[in-house]
Amino acid sequence: MCIRDSLRGITFKPDGSRMYVTTDKNLDTAIEGTVIEYSLSTAFDITTATKTSETDLDIGGGTLMDKPHAIEFKPDGKVMYVIRSQSGSVGVEQFNLTTAWDTSTLSHDASLGITNGGDVQIRAITFKTDGTRVYIAQRDHGKVIQYDLSTPWDISSATNEVESNLFTGEEDNIRNIQFSSDGTFMYLGGNGGDDINKYKLPTAWDVSTITHVTSYSISSQTNEMRGFKFTANFTKLYVTGDDGDGTGTNVVYEYSLACVGTITCDPINDKD
């Protein structure tokens, strides 16, 4: 599935009827972030996608977000989270949606600034299933950072920062992270190796100690991975690729996984 330049994060409504991607919209004077929403007539089948809206990521006072990346939603679809990697304004932006799952109704609500030393470049975000923890990762930092949320799903309530051990031996340019439903496995992908890495967590939802299990390469489809998302049952994987930058199109790839819960399977489908 082809989209325009600067395609970044990707996620879905849990029933697969809608897909969301973040992009940088090229304007005459600046590059500004948007979220594009698609309706899928067949659940989780990106070949049936129809664009329904594209909405500027206004973070207040008419200021548009620059350099959006990973995107996530609260399970009820009423809150959306987008990584912001604009120099000097790095962190997570939280938006309320007047109508659940309809991004054209978004309004900015809160921010979580990240200042973890030097030129911080945040790329990834995910949550514990009950909303009591948020996890982010920097592009070159080589660690996942975990925060407790004293108010579930509210990033402004983040406390108790905990870092994982280093994973740069597997990936040095992270793009996104995702957990298994029970929090005992973490999946981490990036365009350093253009692969998805699977890690074991000895204590569920605690990234203080992670152990690498296996990797799955997607380099035969893209050398510029920008984001990924598994369906909840891990039977499908979606990857955004930036190979078309400058040509007017980027690509979303869809994979069917023959063995549920693993990343060691061959892609059955890679649609472009």
Mean pLDDT, consecutive 10-residue stretches, the chain (272 aa), reads 65 96 68 89 94 92 84 97 78 96 97 71 90 88 89 96 81 84 90 85 94 84 79 86 59 71 46 34
Residues 201, 184: contact at Cβ < 8 Å?
yes
Task: With 0.85 as the threshold, say if the pTM is over it.
Answer: yes
Structure confidence at residue 208 (pLDDT):
92
Structure tokens at 186: 């973490």
Structure confidence at residue 264 (pLDDT):
43
Structure confidence at residue 234 (pLDDT):
84
pLDDT digits (tens, 9 = 90+) for 254-268: 887 754 445 544 444
Give the Cα separation of 5 and 247 in Å (integer): 7
pLDDT digits (tens, 9 = 90+) for 63-114: 888 888 899 999 999 999 999 876 667 789 999 999 999 999 999 999 998 8
- Nearest to residue 146, comparing CAs of 129, 130, 131, 164? 164
Structure confidence at residue 260 (pLDDT):
45
Structure confidence at residue 60 (pLDDT):
85
Structure confidence at residue 116 (pLDDT):
63
The 3-state DSSP class for residue 106 equals strand
